[in-house]
Chains A and B, each alone.
Chain A
Amino acid sequence: MTAAVANALEARRLPRWAPAATAVAAAALAYIVFALGGVLGGGTVLTVVGAVVFFLAGLALASGIVEGSRAARNRIATALIYSAFTLALLPLVSVVFTLVSKGTARLDAEFFGHSMRNIGPQDNSGGAYHAIIGTLEQVAIATLITVPLGTGGAIYIVEYGRGRLALAIRFFVDVMTGIPSIVAGLFILAFWVLIVSPHLSPDGLPFYSGFAASLALSVLMLPTITRSSEEMLRLVPVALREGAYALGIAKWKTIMRIVLPTALPGIVTGVMLAVARAAGETAPVLLVAGGGAGINFSPFHGLQNSLSIFIYDQAGSASKYAPARAWTAALTLVALVLTLTIAAKLLSRRNKLR
């Protein structure tokens, strides 16, 4: 009697190794049916898909017989969620793997120390030094322009904006988020390069510049930064603001010293997303900075390259040595964005207390 009561909450369970064993059996079955048997034409993709289907069916069957239908549904749901996660991770792993395996061929000092000036189709040398300089300068200037404007705009919307003006600004920020990058490039080409730049050059002729690229990138980064900063500022509890006001702290000081620091990690994440997007933009930079093979340290005058243009150029080049350069540049670009993101995360976490 006592034993029956104690067992009332217990149910028969599959052994711990059951899912793994089912997976192995499903893989083996799929291999035999599709890869060896050639059912439905066979092939690797079909084998993998078949294995997953067999696994789900087998697990459902085994669990349904031993554990009952509720447990079976639970196992299927768990398996589906894990599959979805794996599926989502697959492209990421594949991209990283491809970049590393193909990008290391030209990962040498020559690549990081030389430009493409005087490099012909027959030359195995040449590098992306000029492109790295361009990307760093253009993105840095664009960040310098957009971070104060974007966070300032977000502060206005959240802390000061009332009525129609704030609503209108929010609406147009949303509209700006959807601007295709090529349109931003065309806008800067028409506005800055063709109309403004002739007034800045001694000969009165329009000129390309890395700064124009920064402006185009700013148009793209600004709405992203404003939106994400706005969301982060809204997350700061009203109680904190009231606590500061009750101490006789002025509103702007409350915003600068209490609200912004509290929202900082989130704002930094938003900025880094915008930076990552900007660093990968090709079309607007190509339109207004022009590319070019040589090193140009000045972002304010003359052709300037960037890593994304470099990749575009090299990937489309007829030289048999170009693809290796394109892959290494792609690896460099990803590494650059990753490094910047990690650095920004660490910096914003540094003032967090332990």
Chain B
Amino acid sequence: MAKRIEASGISAYYGAFKAIEDINMVIEPKSVTALIGPSGCGKSTFLRSINRMHEVLPGARVEGKLTLDSQDLYGRDVDVTAVRRLIGMVFQRPNPFPTMSIYDNVVSGLRLNGVRKRSALDNACEKALRAANLWNEVHTRLSRPGAGLSGGQQQRLCIARAIAVEPQVVLMDEPCSALDPISTLAIEDLIAELKNQYTIVIVTHNMQQAARVSDRTAFFSIEKTGDPGRLIEVDQTTKIFTNPSVKKTEDYITGRFG
């Protein structure tokens, strides 16, 4: 269920602007990898290039090699939708589909990819909602609109929606930044459970959060505004937070810059 991602020489552009340059790193399966760094350093850009969401924006493109268990994700004949089915994503702000019920939201990925059988959809819905720790709260009102839930519940609904299609990898782009501390705790507990099954990559501005949830941490930084972001170092989270090998990482973590 979980796969290993290898990035070598990844650079990403917005038109002529180079947002990240020469990122080389390995993301281990069944673990949580946190991407940290100051604003504008390219964490989110790198995350979005993993499931080829970067190129959705007009003029955006990615160079370099990215593999999922040795399958090239940027190969010439690769079907983008197939990549995104293997590598799901949760966004900064909860984005449930407003015209759909809770049930329809969860199964939307399956249904719009051709699964018709009601029993299969029912099972997938319950399984995903249970995995997202949301089943007990919503199972009596599955036909109510997904947008009617609280912010934290909506975000867990979006996680359920992402894992309902049974991806290999789940990418999370600051999934708690729009949530209160209690909802954040619920999501962090959920991440700890999900890593038994999925490879998880999470972008966060909250270093305590990175320390709490992740096994490995990657630190990104930029020299100055307008320069491309670079990967400074990636290592075990405990090492990054206690004894980083690069001075710049230590400065950032101890709050001396950024």
List A residues at the B interface (Cβ < 8 Å): 162, 237, 239-250, 253-254, 257-258, 261-262, 264, 351-354
Contacts and interface: CB of A to CB of B under 8 A. Distances in A.
Contacts of B252: none
Q: Which residue, B53, B88, B112, B144, has most C-beta atoms of chain A within 10 A?
A: B112
Interface in B69-96: 81-86, 88-89, 91, 93, 95-96
Contact of A248 (B84, B96, B158): B84
B197 to A, nearest CB: 18
B195 interface: no
B64 to A, nearest CB: 21
Contacts of B53: 242, 245-246
Given A248-B82, A248-B83, A258-B97, 12 more contacts: A239-B95, A242-B89, A246-B51, A247-B84, A247-B161, A249-B113, A253-B112, A254-B112, A262-B98, A262-B99, A351-B99, A352-B99
A248 B85 contact: yes
Given A239-B91, A242-B91, A250 B81 contact: yes
- In this complex, the interface size class of chain B, counting residues with CB under 8 Å from chain A, is 20 to 34
A262 B97 contact: yes
B101 A257 contact: no
Contacts of B96: 243
Nearest to A247: B109
Interface string B218-256: 000000000000000000000000000000000000000
A248 B144 contact: no
A240 B95 contact: yes
B93 A239 contact: yes
Contacts of A248: 81-86, 109, 113, 165
A262 B165 CA distance: 23
A205 to B, nearest CB: 52
- Is chain A's interface secondary structure helix, strand, loop, or mixed overall? helix
Given A239-B91, A262-B97, A352-B99, A247 B56 contact: no
A250 B99 CA distance: 18
Contacts, number: 80
A247 B162 contact: yes
15 contacts: A240-B95, A243-B91, A243-B158, A243-B161, A244-B108, A246-B84, A246-B91, A248-B85, A248-B165, A249-B112, A262-B97, A262-B99, A353-B99, A353-B145, A354-B145
A240 B93 CA distance: 11
Interface of B: 51, 53, 56, 58, 81-86, 88-89, 91, 93, 95-101, 108-109, 112-113, 143-145, 158, 161-162, 165
A242 B56 contact: yes
Nearest to B102: A353
Nearest to B110: A247
Given A240-B98, A258-B97, A353-B101, A245 B56 contact: yes
Nearest to B88: A246
B234 to A, nearest CB: 24
Contacts of B113: 247-249
A293 to B, nearest CB: 48
Contacts of B100: 353
Given A162-B58, A353-B144, A245 B84 contact: yes
A110 to B, nearest CB: 46
Nearest to B99: A261
Contacts of A239: 91, 93, 95
Given A246-B162, A247-B84, A248-B85, A257 B112 contact: yes
Q: Which residue, B95, B109, B113, B145, has most C-beta atoms of chain A within 10 A?
A: B95
Contacts of B99: 258, 261-262, 264, 351-353
Given A162-B58, A249-B113, A243 B84 contact: no
B65 to A, nearest CB: 22
Nearest to B86: A248
Contacts of A258: 97, 99, 108
Contacts of A254: 112
Contacts of A243: 91, 95-97, 158, 161
Contacts of A353: 99-101, 143-145
A163 to B, nearest CB: 10
Contacts of A250: 81
A238 to B, nearest CB: 9
Nearest to A251: B81
B108 A247 contact: yes
Nearest to B164: A247
Nearest to A352: B99
Nearest to B147: A353
Contacts of A242: 53, 56, 89, 91, 95
A249 B98 contact: no
A266 to B, nearest CB: 12
Contacts of A351: 99
A244 B82 CA distance: 13
Given A261-B99, A262-B99, A353-B145, A247 B85 contact: yes
